[in-house]
Amino acid sequence: MLLPVLAEPAPAGELERIRTAGVLRVAIDATYPPMEFLENGQPVGFDVDLSRELARRLGVTAQFIVMDWDGILAGLTSGRYDIIVSSMNITPERLQQVDFIEYARLSQVFVTTRGQSIRTEQELAGHRVAVQTNTTSQRWVERLQQRGVHVREIRPFPGATECFSAVKAGQADVIVIDEPVGLFFARRDDAFVMTGKALDAEPIGIAIDKKAPDLTAALTRALQDIRDSGEQKRLSERWFGAELGQAAKPQGFWMFSREVALPRVLQGLGVTLQLTLGAGGLGIAWGMLVALARISRRTGLRGLAVAYITLFRGTPLLLQLLFIFFALPIVAGIRMGPMAAGVIALSLNAAAYIAEIFRAAIESIDKGQMEAARALGMSHELAMRRVILPQTFRRLIPPLVNELAALSKDTSLVMVIALPEMLYETKQLAGTYLRPEVYAWAAIGYLLIVAALSALAQRLERRLEARGT
């Protein structure tokens, strides 16, 4: 059952580095119960317990890094973690990128709400099918379409939990998902029922960078020891047996919010505020410098400013965030944590827009002000600092507040690099507990941030008016 697929050996030493550090960094996509998910903010599940057993046999501890599924392979190849243990199917395409050690085989099943009856692939015709993005399930349903099964619509979601929420909300009719996941939700919520098998069991494996053959060999031995000792069987009985070991879901919305949701949403709100204030402050400072360069009489500076603004306004913020977090370690050897990457990406993007706000405000000042200052013997730079910029501040407040309000909402994009801001935490709660109504708390959080920014802007405007500026 072991399938290590090794590339050309690279210099040994990855295993030694892990043992010296005392930590095995394990990436999971925490939206796939009972394989891996978050319970009270902590990773739990079969894959989590298996990873801890693997780490213990290597003489280290497991450190879990929660990643969005779409970027999980990129994070491994860029060195952000050592292995992926996240129910990843072993496919020829993935084998070209990383090595695998098979540790289980999972079949795919149909899951619907009670009253539906979808038992075969032909019966998917005319239905909306929910699948997790970039998974075997999605590719299988797409192949069915190509073979002539007229699926009404394929609806891919970033996590398994969103698939179940969509079916429960009537946004999809059936889910194609791994059998343990379908069983978990069917037992957790009697609205769901497994109605048939979609695919026979397929191998899933531990993903390892091809540059770490020594780690692959050590994990192969550790996994065999886990099997021989009976530990893997015990883990399987715990997570896939009659008792899943999960706490009962709180019934009332207010009780659930008070005991479970609000503490985590407030933690996420703190991260969102840090991102907004940090990126906003840096964005304003950098944006002002870019604006001054944009209106500079020096052709070189002006050209650089125009290029910067064009680049960051002409490409999506999400792309910039993914490039800084995943690509920079490979391209330039610059590696930073999720918070630093988030603040830098958001501030660089915001600065491009803020620069244009500054430029428009500066150019709105009557040209006679600059001419009068120059007539008094001031240099261009001194006149800009003493005369022009002070007059622009009051005009800047409304558009700057709008930009900061937009920035506070853009912080939600950092969930793709697994930074637990407010929407990320709410999304995890909604999926794990099948309580999509908790999204209301995220909406309230963003409204509070925008209201606070608006109140601050009004106070600043009143102060400036009182000073007669």
Mean pLDDT by 10 residues, the chain (469 residues): 45 82 94 84 91 95 91 91 94 92 88 84 90 87 89 89 87 90 81 82 91 94 92 81 38 77 91 95 94 88 94 95 90 89 96 92 72 72 69 77 91 88 85 78 94 86 68
Q: Tell me the pairing of strands 98-113 and 192-209.
A: antiparallel
- As a whole number of angstroms, the distance between CA 136 and CA 155 comes to 14
Q: Tell me the pairing of strands 31-32 and 83-89.
A: unpaired
Residue 51's nearest CA partner among 184, 223, 295 is 223
The CATH 1.10.3720.10 domain(s) of the chain lie at: 253-466
3-state SS string over 140-156?
A: HHHHHHHCCCCECEEEE
- As a whole number of angstroms, the distance between CA 197 and CA 214 comes to 38
- As a whole number of angstroms, the distance between CA 23 and CA 59 comes to 9
Residue 127's nearest CA partner among 146, 110, 139, 143 is 110
Cβ-Cβ contacts under 8 Å for 123 (sequence gap 6 or more): 117
Q: Omega of the bond prior to 398 within 30 degrees of 0, cis?
A: no
Annotate 261-290 with b (16+ C-beta within 10 A) or e (fewer).
Answer: bbebbeebbebbbbbbebbbebbbebbbeb
Q: How many CB atoms lie within 10 A of CB 232?
A: 20
In the prediction, which pLDDT does 264 show? 87
Q: In what order do the strands lie in the sheet with 128-132?
A: 61-66, 23-28, 83-89, 192-209, 98-113, 174-178, 128-132, 153-157
Is it true that domain 14-240 has CATH number 3.40.190.10?
A: yes
Q: Which two tokens stand for residue 106?
A: 């999972």
In the prediction, which pLDDT does 176 show? 93
The CATH 3.40.190.10 domain(s) of the chain lie at: 14-240
Q: In what order do the strands lie in the sheet with 42-44?
A: 31-32, 36-39, 42-44
What's the burial of 467, exposed, middle or buried (CB within 10 Å: 0-12/13-18/19+)? exposed
What CATH fold (topology level) applies to the domain 253-466?
MetI-like fold (1.10.3720)
